[in-house]
Amino acid sequence: MYKPPDNKKTWGQIVQTLPARTRRNTTTSGIGLKKLRKPKQEALLVRMEGKSYGDILRTMRQTVDPANIGVNVRDIKKTRNGELLLTVEEGSKKVEELKREIEEKNPQMTTSVLISKKVLHIRDLDEVTTEDEIRKAICEVTSAKPESFEIKALRPANRNKQNVTVIISEGDAYQLLTAGKIKIGWPNCRVIEREREKKCYRCWGHGHVKAQCKGPDRERNCMKCGKEGHKAAEC
């Protein structure tokens, strides 16, 4: 009796047949796993009432030396409102030191730290885990302070588990995502970044942006009825 050849291949064999570009980030647990990006530099906004950008910069250079406190200023920019924007390479801890130094030497200046944040989902918490336990665990494995991040929507999940959403600085998010898991209570809980889905405002499609769009141009169409000649507010 004829027996067909066995064409079954292992996952490893299949991966080897893929082009090198496809195979590069491929593992047995997934294809094209996202590469984590290191956190962006933190920024410090400096204002001084009634003074121009040049005045602020000149005064700061005369009174503050970032090198004395171990701070590396990567860039200095003028904002649209004439304020001064400093970019600090080392991250949030260093930017706080620079903020304190500027305010001590120049009480007439007001400063505010601009911190980029990420939204993370932490999964597989047991059903009795509290927000205090989550906050404590995050502070133990990152440089975050209890008041520096938000805990949102601690909610029930399947199999008597809980999930939680955390809004935290990029630097601390990078630490959590690099580890992949965090121990909260007894279990090791998965840490996942929430990704915003790309949306094209040219064709109204998803998965790409306007610059990459090859679909129909619907920019003049009404978002409500899809017809041309008027806007959704007038529809």
How many other C-beta atoms lie within 10 A of the C-beta of residue 42?
26
Mean pLDDT, rounded, for 106-115: 90
Query: Per-residue confidence at 117, pLDDT binned at 50, 70, 90?
Result: confident
Residue 1 inside a domain? The answer is no
pLDDT at 24 over 50: no
Does 105 lie in the same domain as 49?
Answer: yes
Compute the half-sphere exposure of residue 120: CA atoms within 13 Å on the CB side of its CA.
Answer: 29
The predicted-structure confidence for 224-235, as pLDDT tens digits, reads as follows 888 888 888 888
Which residue has tokens 């959403």?
165
Domain end call among 70, 95, 114: 114
Residue 172 inside a domain? The answer is yes
Does 127 lie in the same domain as 107?
Answer: no
Judge contact between 176 and 188, C-beta under 8 A.
Answer: no
Judge contact between 177 and 140, C-beta under 8 A.
Answer: no
Q: What torsion, rounded to 10 degrees, do the Cα atoms 101, 106, 107, 112 define?
A: -60
Judge contact between 109 and 102, C-beta under 8 A.
Answer: yes
The top-scoring range by mean pLDDT among 31-40, 79-88, 155-164 is 155-164
Give residue 16's pLDDT. Answer: 57
Domain end call among 114, 145, 170: 114
Relative orientation angle of helices 170-179 and 131-141, to the nearest 10 degrees: 90
Does 122 lie in the same domain as 92?
Answer: no
- The H-or-E segment that residue 94 falls in is helix 92-105
Cα 192–120–86 angle (5° rounding)? Answer: 125
pLDDT at 7 over 60: no
Residue 163 inside a domain? The answer is yes
Query: Per-residue confidence at 26, pLDDT binned at 50, 70, 90?
Result: very low
Does 86 lie in the same domain as 104?
Answer: yes
pTM of the model: 0.56
Could you give the percent of the chain with pLDDT greater than 90?
A: 46
107: domain CATH number is 3.30.70.260
How far apart CA 116 and CA 39 sit, in angstroms, is 9
Does 182 lie in the same domain as 131?
Answer: yes
Does 184 lie in the same domain as 136?
Answer: yes
Residue 7 inside a domain? The answer is no
Judge contact between 42 and 92, C-beta under 8 A.
Answer: yes
Query: Per-residue confidence at 29, pLDDT binned at 50, 70, 90?
Result: very low
Domain residues for 155? 117-193
Total number of domains constituting the chain: 3
Residue 198 inside a domain? The answer is no
